[in-house]
Amino acid sequence: MSTDDSRQYPPVDPYRAGIFGRCPRCGKGRLFDGYIKVGTSCPNCGLDYGFADAGDGPAVFVILLIGFLVVGLALWAEVSFSPPLWLHLLIWIPLSAGLCLLLLRALKGVLITLQYKNNAHEGELDNG
């Protein structure tokens, strides 16, 4: 975030803006041009989203979080109730897919807004 941005735009909470898919600079424009495709620029303030590169970070976090949750719940259900295999498949596969889709957009937005707030760039080291 440049000093001009901080003078012209009020501070934006990167977590809130990321979760709701808003521009990291103004907090009003849309960050995404679809479900998880990042737009080219903010329609409100004109910020170029060319810096936005979340990579595989959001997918890794989502897989680890949802995998831990669903496997734990499936093991608990198996030990407590011993449901048939078809019931496990009917419950856990849609739950996993739904939670992954729900969290992927929010985590991608948060990582991009934090990238903007911290002025993070790929392949640069701070030698200060």
Kindly state whether residue 126 falls inside one of the protein's structural domains. no
On whether the pTM is more than 0.75, the answer is: yes
Kindly state whether residue 125 falls inside one of the protein's structural domains. no
How many domains are contained in the chain? 1
Give the HSE-up count for residue 117: Cα atoms under 13 Å, Cβ half-sphere: 19
Give the structural domain span for 51.
Answer: 3-117
Q: What is the pLDDT of residues 1-59, one digit of tens each?
A: 555 666 788 899 999 999 999 999 999 999 999 999 999 999 999 999 999 888 899 99
Largest CA distance in the chain: 61
Kindly state whether residue 123 falls inside one of the protein's structural domains. no
Kindly state whether residue 22 falls inside one of the protein's structural domains. yes
